[in-house]
Amino acid sequence: MLDIKFIRENKGLVEKAAKDKHFKVDLDSILSLDDELKSLQSQLEELQSRRNAVSKKIPKVPPEEQESLKAEVAELKPRMDELGGQVKVLQDQFNEKMLAVPAPARADVPVGKDDAENVQVKTWGTLPSFDFKIRDHVELGQLNDWIDIPRGVKLAGSRSYVLKGDAARLESALLKFTLDHLYNKGYQQLSVPVLVKEDCMVGTGYFPNGRDQAYYIERDELALVGTAEVPVASYHSDEMLKEQDLPIRYMAQSSCFRREAGTYGKDTHGLYRVHQFQKVEQVIIAKADEADSEALHNELLNNSEQIMQALELPYQVVYVCTGDLGQGQVRKHDIETWMPSRNAYSETHSCSTFHDFQARRLKIRYKDSNKKKNFCYTLNNTAIATPRVLIPFIEVHQQADGSIFIPEALRPYLNGQEFIGKK
């Protein structure tokens, strides 16, 4: 959510930002509602002040004068109730419209329509070459009895799967390796709920715009999260933090759930786009300082790059254009890892900076050295997500016999094995 004062003073900028991000907003309506709200609130405050002043006079005047003052207080109440009701209706309308306004992207973010216009900024690693006919991850999974999609569908419907044997061990190893890597970087691990209140989804920007992507339990008014970012970023909601404690670095592993609405027929083969998966997320809560935010964004990105390099997986980093940014993101870099079966780099990580967009919704603030209250900045990045990362891992490291090479960094998590699978 943006500050209404910022919108009023930068209306053109916000309108252009919304257009660049493909969001439809009516800022004139928002500003008009704000004016009307202020007028009604001013009238209500005047009546409240009058009522309070008269009420204070009642015990101080002779009994014969008290009745007229009590009558005056009684006469004020219906008008105050009427104004209070009008304020509530307008406030709800105002809040709903404000929740739809996107955060402007940073000035250096490339303007573009969609992910096809993202800008490559870096590549790492050498693309693998094979002297045998390669298998994709599904074929390798079937050959080694590792991936059971038919039974996954039997259990949970489309886009479901079961990992077996060494594939399940590999998933656990990747997650634990990642957690250890971040622990050594000073990140504190949280174990968080994956069922959260609606306030958390709204606060992090996943509701109302992304409601169709979430699994929601109507009876309990709880949503299944699509990322641990939601509970971790919400962890300090409605809190006043100490400046000396910032930045706060968190990591969390969780199950994640996404309906993948609007993707019917897209990426249906294998493990690329599924309804349930495991992910380690990095979240940082920081001071409202652009230089600090820049450094922390790069730190999050570097953490994930180091993980991919240790896993010996070639990747590229792209600077995400305006048309591919989320509502609250002011900048984002994606890591796209090479997947031989797709003959392409495909997204495995998203590193995002939000400035105060989430903190303003979640009411996460801190006092600076001048005792001024500020909204924090929030940032996050995928550290690793499975089973998607299994696709490049087993495809890039496949051997002619269907076995998979295990890079040295991961071997301590797999009993020292250099290969898993067929021999």
pLDDT band for 190, please (50, 70, 90 cuts). very high
Confidence bin at 75 (pLDDT 50/70/90): confident
Backbone φ, ψ for residue 345 (5° rounding): -80, 135
8 Å CB contact between 352 and 127: no
Options 117, 172, 347, 411, the catalytic residue: 347
273 is known as an active-site residue: yes
pLDDT, average across residues 146-152: 97
What's residue 325's pLDDT? 98
pTM tops 0.85? yes
Mean pLDDT, residues 72-80 taken together: 88
Annotated binding-site residue? 347: yes
Catalytic residue among 273, 299, 346, 411: 273
By the 10 Å C-beta count (0-12 exposed, 13-18 middle, 19+ buried), 154 is classed as exposed
Beta strands, E only, 27-128: 119-124
Catalytic residue among 234, 254, 350, 352: 350
Two structure tokens written together for 309: 């390099």
Percent of the chain whose predicted confidence (pLDDT) is above 70: 99
Residue 223's Cβ-count burial label (10 Å; 0-12, 13-18, 19+) is: buried
- Give the pLDDT band of residue 260 (cuts 50, 70, 90): confident
Confidence (pLDDT) at 116: 97
49 annotated ligand binder: no
User: Is residue 331 annotated as a catalytic residue, yes or no?
Assistant: no
How much is the average pLDDT of 309-325? 99
Query: Looking at domain 115-420, which CATH architecture does it have?
Result: 2-Layer Sandwich (3.30)
Q: Which of 331, 360, 365, 388 is flagged as catalytic?
A: 388
pLDDT at residue 268 greater than cutoff 80 = no
- Ramachandran angles phi, psi of 165, nearest 5°: 55, -125
312 is in an annotated binding site: no
In this predicted structure, what is the pLDDT of residue 266? Answer: 64
**Residue 350 labeled ligand binder:** yes
Q: Is 227 annotated as a binding residue?
A: yes
Cβ atoms of 15 and 27 within 8 Å: the answer is yes
pLDDT in tens, 340-397: 999 999 999 999 999 999 999 999 999 999 999 999 999 999 999 999 999 999 999 9
Domains of the chain: which residue ranges?
A: 26-100, 115-420
The fold for domain 26-100 equals Helix Hairpins (1.10.287)
Active site residue 350: yes
| Residue 388 falls in the annotated catalytic set | yes
CA atoms of 36 and 40, how far apart (whole Å) = 6
348 annotated ligand binder: yes
pLDDT at 274: 96
**pLDDT of 291:** 97
User: Are 273 and 263 spatial neighbours (Cβ–Cβ below 8 Å)?
Assistant: yes
Q: How far apart are CA 164 and CA 127, in angstroms?
A: 28
Indicate which residue of 258, 331, 361, 365 is catalytic.
258
Q: How confident is the model at residue 2 (pLDDT cuts 50, 70, 90)?
A: very high
Q: Which CA distances in Å does 235 have to 248, 357, 361?
A: 11, 16, 13
Interval 275-301 mean pLDDT: 98
Reply yes or no on whether the pLDDT at 221 is more than 80.
yes
258 tagged catalytic: yes
pLDDT on residue 262: 65
Q: Minimal CA–CA distance to 156: which of 278, 264, 257? A: 257
Q: What is the pLDDT of residue 215?
A: 97
**What pLDDT does residue 414 have?**
98
Rounded to whole angstroms, what are the CA distances from 226 to 180, 276, 354? 23, 9, 18
* Residue 204 to residues 30, 179, 329, Cα–Cα distance (Å): 21, 23, 11
User: What is the overall mean pLDDT for the chain?
Assistant: 96
Q: Say whether 198 counts as a known binding-site residue.
A: no
**DSSP H or E segment with residue 254:** strand 248-257
Q: Tell me if 281 is assigned to a ligand binding site.
A: yes
Cβ within 8 Å of residue 243, ≥6 positions away: 287, 366, 367, 368, 369
